[in-house]
Structure 1
Amino acid sequence: MEQPHTTRYRWLSWSVLIVILVAWWAVTTLHLVSGILLPAPQRVVTTFITLCQHGYNGVGLGAHYVITMARLLVAVVMAILIGVPLGLLSGYLPKVKALIDPVIQFIRPIPPLAYYTLLILWLGIGESSKVSLLFLAAVPPIYIACFDAVGKVNVEFLQSAASLGANAKQRFSHIVFPAAAPDIFTGVRSAVGVAYTTIVSAEMIASSTGIGWMIIDASHYLKSDVMFVGIIVLGVTGIALDWGIKALEHRLVRWSGRV
């Protein structure tokens, strides 16, 4: 549930946004910066409309957007389906931790772009390498959040359930998983953020579609207005994704903060 003071001071956030837009408009109107480096707001709006109507490189802006979001969605869903159970089981069962944790800890600090060329060699230049890159970027945050969540579970709850005859499977499904749910959503938010920041890298090599590719390709021809459109689209979408995950958490995890 949103805190009252957050709502009360929301006008500050809007004020900052308005100040940035006004400063942007003023700098470009007074020609303090070259239009190649910083296009005017009205030019960015015009470019956005043009891209919606005619597309970029023969592909509509909507199609570029859908392709990028599809890559992200597939990778994140795969990361959730694999990372959540592995993280919870590693925190709950020492044997699983001994098998899985070293692999995750090895992958976690490596920048995803470092092994992208290997993925291309192994999987080719198609969608598999791009989705795999995003998947490998998203798994560690989910795994770590789930693993740590199990460690936060109140031991007395588990002992009480065991004394009442609950087996390990029942204790996991009725105590560990519900208690870890808030942290699972935190891990998903982090994973989406990490994967989202990797999307440009995933689309910059051997690709001809996607918002990230559009930004990279436009930079080669100094089309800063197209770059700004892509960056703003990604920024707004990122905020919307994070808001959506938080809203889903508030709906599904109603007991968060109550125990």
Structure 2
Amino acid sequence: MSLFDEKQRRAVMHTWSELRRAAPARPGEQYGAPGNGSSLTLSLATLCVVFGTWYVATNGGWIKPLFLPSPQAVWAQLVDVFQEGFADATLLTHIGWSALRVFGAFVLAVLTAIPVGILMGVNRVARGIFDPLVEFYRPLPPLAYLPLVVIWMGIGEGSKILLIYLAMFAPLALSARAGVKSVAIEQIHAAYSMGASRAQVLKHVIMPAALPEVLTGMRIAIGFGWTTLVAAEMVAATAGLGFMVLTASKFMATDVVIMGILVIGAMALLFDLGMRWLERKLVPWKGKV
């Protein structure tokens, strides 16, 4: 075992435990974190005001149901679609297909985009190869290259997953690259001075330092995935939340449209809260040192 292996492992474990035990949490930094009661209360109050305004405006006759149905109508439609279904599929079926497409693409993006982003951060050749490609297609809306994806992959599930995957790839890769670039050069020099190899520096110094940015990129990427879902399910889909919303819009079923939007938003929010919890467990030092 090299001098770096022993000392680095002890230093990392000691720093980790000390930060988790002693570092104070910033009030309002994350939902569910100690000391953020005021932030959570404000968020709940905001939701109450929004839904209260929605209830008063729709039940008071200020807005026609065609443009904005009441919360009761949306809830009734949620129960009806859950029990009876919509467009030949139940709500759970729609949710299942959409989750399969989004999270399937997310797993593929994590497995490919993060290594590419790290390579872009540590290797000039990789940065020269991938950076112009990623930066070129990143601003393009998914609908712009949807026809090309259909030509390449057909109208099956592959084209839907590929479209969502492409929407997620760029933010994940760029976040990983930014995380690598955020590593202090002094840390790298200190590791080399202790006899570390390039692989050890990458594993023990660069990867832990880049992890906060990578987790943030994962949260951003899944948001892009849900945003692209509706576009992906425009192509020959028979089930899915985006398909349900598009079908309901053709029949002017505004209550189903809003219900589908709320379900998509709720699923995205639950995933984001899960990522925040994971972030607190994996990088407890973030924002505290």
Length-normalised TM-score, structure 1: 0.96
Partner of 1:9, secondary structure, is helix
Say which of 163, 173, 182 aligns to 1:152.
182
Would the aligned equivalents of 2:26 and 2:288 in 1 still touch at CA under 8 Å?
Answer: no
1:61-80 matches, within 5 Å, as 61-80=91-110
Summarize deviations over 1:25-71 as a string: whole Å, max 9, x none: 22222222211111111111111110010111121100100110110
Q: Which residue of 2 aligns with 1:175?
A: 205
Q: Which residue of 2 aligns with 1:135?
A: 165
Say which of 211, 218, 230 aligns to 1:200.
230
Q: Which residue of 2 aligns with 1:228?
A: 258
Residues matched between the structures, number: 259
CA distance, structure 2, for counterparts of residue 168 and residue 258 of structure 1: 28
Summarize deviations over 1:140-179 as a string: whole Å, max 9, x none: 0011111111111111111111122211111111100011
Say which of 42, 53, 59 aligns to 2:83.
53
Give the % identical residues.
36
Question: What one-letter code is carried by the residue in structure 2 that aligns with 1:215?
Answer: V
Question: What one-letter code is carried by the residue in structure 2 that aligns with 1:225?
Answer: D
CA distance, structure 2, for counterparts of residue 247 and residue 22 of structure 1: 30
Question: What one-letter code is carried by the residue in structure 2 that aligns with 1:235?
Answer: G
- The CA deviation at 1:258 is 5.1
Would the aligned equivalents of 2:84 and 2:90 in 1 still touch at CA under 8 Å?
Answer: yes
Question: What one-letter code is carried by the residue in structure 2 that aligns with 1:223?
Answer: A
Structure 2: state its 5+ residue gaps. 1-23, 29-35
Summarize deviations over 1:101-128 as a string: whole Å, max 9, x none: 1211111111111101111111011110
- The CA deviation at 1:95 is 1.4
Question: What one-letter code is carried by the residue in structure 2 that aligns with 1:26?
Answer: V
1:14-163 matches, within 5 Å, as 14-163=44-193
Partner of 1:229, secondary structure, is helix
Length-normalised TM-score, structure 2: 0.86
Partner of 2:87, secondary structure, is coil
Say which of 15, 18, 26 aligns to 1:3.
26
Say which of 160, 165, 168 aligns to 2:195.
165
CA distance, structure 1, for counterparts of residue 153 and residue 244 of structure 2: 23
Say which of 236, 241, 245 aligns to 1:211.
241
CA RMSD of aligned residues (A): 1.4
